[in-house]
Structure 1
Amino acid sequence: MTDYDPQKDAHDSYYAAIEAKRGRGDAVIRREVQIGDCRLILGDCLEVLPLLEREARFARAIALSKAAGEPWAGSGSNRRCEWIRKAMAIPVFDAVVTDPPYGIGESAAKNNRRGLLAKPKDYGSDDWDQAPADPKVIAWMRENSDWQIIFGGNYFDLPPTSCWLVWDKKVNGDFADCELAWTNLKKAVRRIEWMWNGMLRKGNEERFHLTQKPLGVMEWCLGHLPASVGIVCDPYAGSGTTGVACVKRGLQFIGIERETHHFETMVKRISAATEAPDMFIEPRAPEPKQEALL
């Protein structure tokens, strides 16, 4: 009799539930749009991420076998298993940069009570912030990417880090003075000031989402990633600000959003960003590298 492994059981049950849903004909990916180097997916990231993982592992296993001069179609089952094991050692994404729900009850009704100088904008009545992001998604992001920048990291069970990214919003009222992004970057704490106080916003940037981050702040976050990063995923993409920032910095982007109206906004914003790229963004300098002495 083998020992019971609760972690493996939970993992297997999770994937079995996704397969059962697919077997019933329920669409995990309700819609998908490709715009340049941006892949935009309408669906729940809890269900979509395992599919992307399997897709990436299989594609990389085939690529590894081809690079070794062994076409996949001609490989035996043992060799295929070997390529798959090697593919599983490669992260699905280079980086995850995201702003998950914190579970603090942000809503249209709460936003409407904030209108003092002007009528608040209607961002819809979704229930996405009634509970924090599922711990399984947080764990998946950490296990399947090299680098993570997770806003609201102070709301989640994450390990100590040397590098928090701090956004000072220059606000008043019931919003927090700053927002904290947990990272696994190997550097010191960094801070940016960017006013985002109701209708008073640096650059007068239009808001499409109740908890939208400024484009300048997301570009600043991306600028802290190592130069080797090429593919960025945002499992809680919202109105697509992370994706627009990726377009402006020449990075590939995969965005997942479950609310249809926010997904449509993301498609429009990223389409516009792709059609009018920012020619003034300089590429990031290469990361310093320790040279061998011998």
Structure 2
Amino acid sequence: MIRREAIIGDCRLILGDCREVLPALGTVDAVVTDPPYGISAGTGIGKVTKEGSDFRSRDQWDRAPPSKSMFDALLTMSRHQIIWGGNYFDLPPTKCFLVWDKVQPQSFSLAMAEMAWTNVDSPAKIFRWKSMSINGGAAKFHPTQKPHHLMGWCLGFLPNARTILDPFMGSGTTGVACVKLGRKFIGIEIDQDYFEIACERIQHAYAQPDMFVDRPPNPKQESLF
């Protein structure tokens, strides 16, 4: 069920459970997403809202990974897929993992790199970007937020994919990357706070256009519900 929907430029943002929304979407060119890994990341970080981190409450969104039927649906509805955390999931064999090297010292206690499963016809590739520089040194909007430069790099492997779906949108980083590269975007997010943050970030991305990308100037957010 779609609880709320917003159209911002070429981006369609949906507040709802992707398990319920996906059957109504039809096909897309590509899925580029960062699902829950099922490692309880949220319980150790706390919920991030527009007002900042709330360490009194603990997110439960990362208690379990998506089901195999969910991944089967994503692979069926799209020609191309880039799925972060792919080493945690039951996905087909691939020759192309994309690796984010977080450029951390050997003493770093958390993961020093993350891997994305893809069906891209390419050898494995590495993107090096310090994890502490995700949001220009400012506080992150989401506990597991990726750099938009990383997601833009991912889209570079899909030059012919015009419409990108992220069924686990979070704070909208994939959408921001799509805006900067002139792609169409569909994002689904189950949490209202993160949905609102994604709307604001994507609106802000349109307000700072890339002079080399042809797109409508300063689109207004349209709420459909």
Query: TM-score normalised by the shorter chain: which range applies?
Result: 0.7 to 0.9
Q: CA RMSD in A?
A: 2.0
**Gapped regions of structure 1 (runs ≥ 5):** 1-27, 54-91, 113-119, 283-294
Give the superposition deviation at 1:201: 5.0
In 2, the alpha carbon distance for the partners of 1:141 and 1:259 equals: 20
In 2, the alpha carbon distance for the partners of 1:38 and 1:205 equals: 25
Give the superposition deviation at 1:206: 4.5
Secondary structure of 1:133 counterpart: coil
Are 2:13 and 2:186, in contact at CA under 8 Å, matched by a contact in 1? yes
Match of 2:128 in 1: 193
| Alignment partner of 1:48 out of 12, 15, 21 | 21
Are 1:205 and 1:214, in contact at CA under 8 Å, matched by a contact in 2? no
Q: Are 1:34 and 2:34 an aligned pair?
A: no
In 2, the alpha carbon distance for the partners of 1:273 and 1:201 equals: 15
Are 1:45 and 1:137, in contact at CA under 8 Å, matched by a contact in 2? no
Higher RCO by CA contacts (8 Å cutoff, separation 6 or greater): 2
Query: What is the TM-score with the length of structure 1 in the denominator?
Result: 0.66
Are 1:196 and 1:202, in contact at CA under 8 Å, matched by a contact in 2? no
In 2, the alpha carbon distance for the partners of 1:121 and 1:52 equals: 33
Q: Between Structure 1 and Structure 2, how many residues are aligned?
A: 206
Secondary structure of 1:101 counterpart: coil
Residues 281 and 52 of structure 1, relative CA distance in 2, 3 Å threshold: closer
Identity over aligned residues, as a percent?
Answer: 51
Query: What is the TM-score with the length of structure 2 in the denominator?
Result: 0.86
Match of 1:101 in 2: 36
- Counterpart of 1:244 in structure 2: which amino acid? V
Are 2:85 and 2:114, in contact at CA under 8 Å, matched by a contact in 1? yes
Are 2:45 and 2:58, in contact at CA under 8 Å, matched by a contact in 1? no
In 2, the alpha carbon distance for the partners of 1:31 and 1:158 equals: 31
| Alignment partner of 1:125 out of 46, 58, 68 | 58
Choose between structure 1 and 2: higher helix proportion.
1
Give the superposition deviation at 1:205: 5.3
1:60-109 deviation digits (Å, cap 9, x = unpaired): xxxxxxxxxxxxxxxxxxxxxxxxxxxxxxxx00000000001001125x
Match of 2:49 in 1: none
In 1, the alpha carbon distance for the partners of 2:60 and 2:211 equals: 38
In 1, the alpha carbon distance for the partners of 2:67 and 2:213 equals: 35
Secondary structure of 2:25 counterpart: helix
